Structure 1
Amino acid sequence: MKRFTIVTASLLAVFASSNVAAANDHTGFYVGGSLGQLKLKSEGSSIDGTGFGAYGGYNFNDWFGLEANMFLSGDLGEGDADFGAGTFALTPKFTYQINDTFAVYGKVGIASMVAVASPANERDEDFTGFGWVYGVGVNASVTEHLNIRLGYDIVKGELDSEHYDGDKNIDADISNFALGMHYQF
């Protein structure tokens, strides 16, 4: 995680020192991907690993847009057990343009959540549910169409067991701290 933070800070410093000559248009469609640290917390325990994401949306103007965001984990399990988690969120996004290059954003909305456990020599267990998503981040326009961003999203909700009809429901938080890159059309 320390290496990820150092790389992110270095990239933001490089882009902050460069001059973007033309006025960038921050409206319209955008689509991109992200890589980061995904963490699943429930009932006092926590596991984390690499998270992969895809996102896209439409900015109606400089300050308001709608965004869809999906992120999934790699294998979070230890030993013979496999474990994975993911979310899909749809949110309004509110942006404050600091200058033509930098902006900060916040978003809140609804999300679907899933966690899949595959213990060794046991039946797979799927947990699904809905929750609230909150997110904040910083966006930097590298060129007229290319943007990078550093964001943190957290989804809070209840995951219901597929097989146990309420006996194994758990309150869970799935968070993702990620560096993303997107193309603004």
Structure 2
Amino acid sequence: MKAIKIAALAAVLASTSALAETDKTGFYIGGALNQVKVSGDGDGSLDGIGFGAYGGYNFNEWFGLESNLFASGDLGEDGVDVGAGAWTFTPKFTVQFNDMFSGFAKVGLASMVVTVDSGLVDTDFTGTGFTWGLGLNAAVNEHLNIRLSYDRSSGDLDGDWADDLDTDISQIALGVHYQF
């Protein structure tokens, strides 16, 4: 978590030298390093590092559509392997602060999965849910952007061999994308 904060601060400071007019419309694609937290049914929470890919299309300076696919590393403890991931699709609303900085909010649908492998039983919990997110974007140059975002997906997941699981998956992500 500390490494993500330091990298975000360094990226924002380095990006202050961008003077070119940035492209705010069209397709974009990128990747992110995430701090993922999974909680469900009052059983506490697990957290760890994850990764993701995202992309979308900005129709104008304030509205676009975005899809985000992310997965965690092993979040488990004491011989139990736990993994989580989601694929989200959202409309995205952007506020331009100036030529370099913008903020965004998004809300939409998520397809979620949590896997649990205890050595004796391997169970997958899957389902759909609701997702929302907030973030800040910094344009490094005309096409390269760095962003820091928070996303949360919530849903009631069905288990293969177990009871349903009411799950929240949240992530803080540091991403870099190319604006075409």
So what's the TM-score if we normalise by structure 2?
0.95
Question: Moved runs in structure 1, 4+ residues, more than 3 A?
Answer: none
Instruction: Tell me the residue number matched to 1:79.
Output: 78
CA root-mean-square deviation: 1.1
Instruction: Tell me the residue number matched to 2:13.
Output: 13
Instruction: Tell me the residue number matched to 1:173.
Output: 168
Q: SS of the residue aligned with 1:79?
A: coil
Structure-2 separation of matches of 1:7 and 1:181: 12
Structure-2 separation of matches of 1:10 and 1:57: 25
In the TM superposition, residue 77 of structure 1 has moved relative to its aligned partner by: 1.3
Structure-2 separation of matches of 1:19 and 1:144: 8
List per-residue Cα deviations over 1:62-90 (Å, max 9, x = no partner). Answer: 00000000110001112322110000000
So what's the TM-score if we normalise by structure 1?
0.93
Pick which of 7-16 and 126-135 moved more.
7-16
In the TM superposition, residue 10 of structure 1 has moved relative to its aligned partner by: 2.5
Compared CA separation, residues 19 and 143, structure 1 to 2 (3 A): closer
1:4 paired with 2:4, answer yes
List per-residue Cα deviations over 1:115-163 (Å, max 9, x = no partner). Answer: 000102x121010011110100000110111101000000011111123
Unaligned runs of 5+ residues in structure 1 are none
1:27 paired with 2:21, answer no
List per-residue Cα deviations over 1:33-73 (Å, max 9, x = no partner). Answer: 00020000112210000010000000000000000001100
Structure-2 separation of matches of 1:64 and 1:51: 28
Instruction: Tell me the residue number matched to 2:92.
Output: 93
**Size of the alignment, in residue pairs?**
179
